[in-house]
Amino acid sequence: MKNKVVLITGASSGIGRSLAFAFGREGASVVICARKADTLQAVTEELRQAGIDVLSLIADVSVEADVKQLIEQTIDHFGRLDILINNAGISMRSMLIDTEPAVIQKVMDINFMGTVYATRYALPYIQQSKGSIVGISSIAGYRGLPVRSGYSASKFAMNGFLEAVRTELLHTGVHVLTACPGFTASNIRFSALNAKGEATGETMRDEGNMMSADECATHILRAVKNRKRELILTSQGKLTVFMNKWLPALTDKLVFNTLAKEKDSPLKK
C-alpha cells in the first residue's frame, strides 16, 4: 500500500474507521469522509497521532455534488486515487407495512446511490492507476432479511451494480471487490432507522459475540492486496449464502426464526 491513495467513505466510525487505520498502517495515504464534523475530526487526530497521512473531508454521499467535490478535492491534494472504498451506509429496522416509503428511499440514496456517485466520479482516476473499487456490502445483499427490507434492497442493488461494473472493466486492469461482512460489531445498528426514519439509538443484537470492525478491516485489506472478486465473512454469513442458494425455502424459515429472537422483534408466527 506504500504510496497508494485510498478514499474511504463513512470513515468516522465502525468498519470505515478501522479500514483507515488498516490501510494507513500499511503505508497508504488515506482520505476519509463523513457527514459529522466532530466525529470526523476526532478520527483524523487519531490517525495523525498514529503517523498516518490523512485528508479528512465533510461529505454526504447521498448528495451527488458533495461526492463530485470529494473526488476533485482528493485529486487536487494527492494528484491520484488508487483505491475507492464505498463504506458509507445506514440500516433500517421495521416491518414494511409500518414503514414510510421515504425511509427506504433514504437508505437507497445513501447505500446505493452513494456508491454509484463515488464510483462514477472516481472511475477515471482508478482506471489511470489500475486500482481497486471496493463495495462494503452485506450478507443482506445475498439473502433478504425480514424487518430490513430497505437495507437488503440497497445491498442487493450494490452487489448487482458492482458485478456489472466489474464486467465492464474486465480488460482494463481495474479490480472490483464486493466485501460482505456478516454481523459485525459496529455502530450501524445503533443508527438504524425506524419506521418513521428516526435513529433507534440502540442495538437489538449482542455485539460482544460478533466479529470486530478491526478484524473485518484486516480481511478486507488482504482481499484488496490479493485482488479478490468477492469476500464473504463469518461462518454464519458463509453458511447463510450457501443455504440460500441451495435450500431457499428452508433458509426462509431459519432466517425468520433467528431474527424473531432479536430484542423487541416484530416478527410473529
Contact 32, 44 (CB under 8 A): yes
Q: Where are the beta strands (DSSP E) in 104-158?
A: 132-136
Q: Which of 169, 82, 167, 170 is nearest to 128 (CA)?
A: 82
Residue 11: what are its φ and ψ, rounded to 5°?
-105, 20
User: CB-based contacts of 157: which residues, under 8 Å, 6+ apart?
Assistant: 108, 111, 112
Contact 35, 59 (CB under 8 A): yes
Q: Which of 32, 51, 28, 35 is nearest to 43 (CA)?
A: 32
Cell 443482506 found at:
140
Q: Which helix (H) or strand (E) holds 105?
A: helix 101-108
Task: Give the C-alpha distances (Å, rounded to integers) separating 100 from 15, 194, 195.
Answer: 28, 9, 6
Q: Catalogue the active-site residues.
A: 151
